[in-house]
Structure 1
Amino acid sequence: MQFLGSHLLSTEQLTLGDIDTVFQTARLLEPVARGEKVTRLLEGAVLANLFFEPSTRTRISFGSAFSRLGGRVLDTTGFEFSSFAKGESIYDTSRVISGYVDVMVVRHPRLGAVKEFAEASGVPVINGGDGPGEHPTQALLDLYTLHKELGRELHQFDGIRIALVGDLKYGRAVKSLARLLSLFKGITFHLVAPDELQMPSALVQHLQACGHQVLQTSDLATGLHGVQAVYSTRIQEERFPSPEDADRFRGSYSINRAVFEQHCQPGTVLMHPLPRDNRSEHCELNNDLNSHPQLAIFRQTDNGIPVRMALFALVMGVQDQITASLQDPRWALRRR
């Protein structure tokens, strides 16, 4: 895709070349993401962080990424504090706010709403979560995490085996990751979920049409066998008809140390888009794994900063200035 001035709404926009561009840019920005260096690449630029669905980690991650590039962040959270509460349309909201800022990140509970923002906007819109649809930046940071944890460059991803576990019907992050992985060759997907929460059939057919192996099972032990990475997801209770419907599936696919040691290879990477349900009887990746070296979930969230910084740099067209900005003597090495 042409990043400069463009919206990022779906993983379907991305090629392997685009992903490589994002990763190369993210690697350059990692010292800034860690607070070791300072850059003012986006000084004077303003981000509208528009989150109309609950979020802590993703909203702050986007805000931190933009701030570390030297820009300013304006936040809106929830419907009750927005003009939607007065009956304003997405079209009007987007047209107005895009006149105030240089880029928008939008999260919305309704599928298709982020696309409506983009269609009305005069500035780039990045999808921060589109109902049960997509979460493209999460998929990029997840793939970046796999690249680092498995020690593989993108051209070495062909043939990996990965288990996608839990709520595969409503979980947007896991669907976006599956679409990104479909760009490679010979991936083996273990889709581990109850029948009611399995991956949508259209996406399964897409994976198969791309030449990948797909094993669908409701048995956790079968699904964990022989994989190099496990991507666990929580039950997306907010998308179920009622809490009682969600309760039927809680804790069904909890992985703890005993399960890991019995069914996973020693080097298997454990991932989760978070938040996980930390109640002991429900927790997808049990708290007894918190100190386990293969639990990558916190390294995964850390990776969101350089990846989102890279996307901002690319859509704002300043990626070619990164190296020079990091060598600018005005921005000396920081001490943490």
Structure 2
Amino acid sequence: MMNFQGSHILSVSQLDREAIARILDISANMAPYAARQKRCTVLEGAILSNLFFEPSTRTRVSFGSAFNLLGGYVRETVGQENSSLSKGESLFDTAQVISGYSDVIAMRHPQMHSVEKFAKGSTVPVINGGDGANEHPTQALLDLFTIQSEMMHFHKGLDNLDIVLMGDLKHGRTVHSLSKLLSLYNNVKVTMVSPTALQMPDSVVSALEDSGHQVIITDTMAGNLSCDVIYQTRIQQERFASKDEADLYRGHFSLNKSIYQQYCRENTVIMHPLPRDSRPEANELDSDLNDLDSLAIFRQAQNGILVRMALFALTLGVEDQLTQYEKEVNWHTNKR
């Protein structure tokens, strides 16, 4: 069993099925705290440094909210221009300083492998919130938690999963990390729907195939969307040389209710890491899907709180102490 306490969480490659099962179990235990049904102060006095050197809303806020829900304090730095990195300070030096102020650090950075470099200088656990087009391990874990939760309604699990990954698979770090996690399970069928120029990197495809899974690569939606889960991604404009280049591919794989009803199974679950691009020229997930019970994108986003709470508890070694630090909830919320 992986010893989480004091460890960095940098890549899904660190995790085996046993470690993932532990994270998902602890995540499920966080539900009453995230729903404000119980209050927990197990991390009272602890400090999270939330370092986001690339734009983020959901990931940044959910990291901070997760830490707050465990009783801790959050200090944020947003944008490289607001940090000493803009003055030429190295990631190692920044890590040496900030880790002295913190108990744990969550970090996003636009350059691949940058969080790993940063972690080498840190004296406290570092959790990767996304490093360029490389990885997004906490997103992959919350995606896996979501798939598991959604499949339970159909008496299915993570083994024998039939999933479609669609959109910008070349630059989408979320699908890179998720694919690596799926390779640990049994008899998974992965259909990859994307423009030829934006196909999944060969290394990710090979990892799935080498694990014995069926991989189908196609640039056609028709006939390829009958599955348990569709995981849609947006065109990652920030990874292209220009907006004009990104526009060449925008809107080619839009999913709306008509396409869903024509090609998908009746209960195919729809996922997306968000933000979805709702501009008419993109519109990868149409708003006419909003009334479908199978649209799981907002449940998926809420699950990020649970998973990040679990990772904080595990890396700081308090996952078995939660109930010792519970307090009676003395305010009311309709949050569910």
Partner of 1:318: 318
| 1:134-283 map, 5 Å | 134-151=135-152, 156-224=157-225, 226-283=226-283
Q: Is the CA contact (8 Å cut-off) linking 1:95 and 1:121 kept in structure 2? A: yes
Give CA-to-partner distance per residue, 1:268-317, whole Å, 9 cap, x none: 00000011101133111111111211110000000010110000000000
**Which residue type is aligned with residue 235 of structure 2?**
I
Partner of 2:309: 309
Q: Is the CA contact (8 Å cut-off) linking 1:36 and 1:334 kept in structure 2? A: no
CA separation of 1:182/1:153 partners in 2, compared to 1, >3 Å: closer, same or farther?
farther
C-alpha deviation, 1:78, in angstroms: 0.4
Which region of structure 1 is more displaced relative to structure 2, 227-236 or 27-36? 27-36
Partner of 1:331: 328
RMSD across aligned C-alpha pairs, in angstroms? Answer: 1.4
| 1:75-94 map, 5 Å | 75-94=76-95
CA distance in 2, matches of 1:256, 1:60: 29
Which region of structure 1 is more displaced relative to structure 2, 135-144 or 274-283? 274-283
C-alpha deviation, 1:172, in angstroms: 0.2
CA distance in 2, matches of 1:242, 1:4: 42
C-alpha deviation, 1:331, in angstroms: 2.6
CA separation of 1:19/1:153 partners in 2, compared to 1, >3 Å: closer, same or farther?
farther
CA separation of 1:234/1:59 partners in 2, compared to 1, >3 Å: closer, same or farther?
same
CA distance in 2, matches of 1:287, 1:269: 15
C-alpha deviation, 1:155, in angstroms: 8.9
Q: TM-score, normalised by structure 1?
A: 0.96
C-alpha deviation, 1:152, in angstroms: 7.1
CA distance in 2, matches of 1:144, 1:267: 18
Q: Is the CA contact (8 Å cut-off) linking 1:191 and 1:223 kept in structure 2? A: no
**Which residue type is aligned with residue 232 of structure 1?**
Q
Structure 1, unmatched stretches of 5+, are none
Matched residue of 1:223: which SS? coil
Partner of 1:12: 13
**Which residue type is aligned with residue 98 of structure 2?**
I
C-alpha deviation, 1:334, in angstroms: 4.5
Q: Is the CA contact (8 Å cut-off) linking 1:280 and 1:286 kept in structure 2? A: no
Partner of 2:286: 286
CA separation of 1:89/1:22 partners in 2, compared to 1, >3 Å: closer, same or farther?
same
- Determine what percentage of the aligned residue pairs are the same residue: 52
CA distance in 1, matches of 2:171, 2:22: 30
**Which residue type is aligned with residue 46 of structure 1?**
I
C-alpha deviation, 1:62, in angstroms: 0.2
Partner of 1:51: 52
C-alpha deviation, 1:220, in angstroms: 1.0
C-alpha deviation, 1:35, in angstroms: 1.4
Q: TM-score, normalised by structure 2?
A: 0.96
C-alpha deviation, 1:190, in angstroms: 0.2
**Which residue type is aligned with residue 145 of structure 1?**
T
C-alpha deviation, 1:151, in angstroms: 0.6
Q: Is the CA contact (8 Å cut-off) linking 1:38 and 1:334 kept in structure 2? A: no
Q: Is the CA contact (8 Å cut-off) linking 2:147 and 2:158 kept in structure 1? A: no
Partner of 2:27: 26
Which 4+ runs in 1 deviate beyond 4 A? 152-155
**Which residue type is aligned with residue 191 of structure 1?**
M
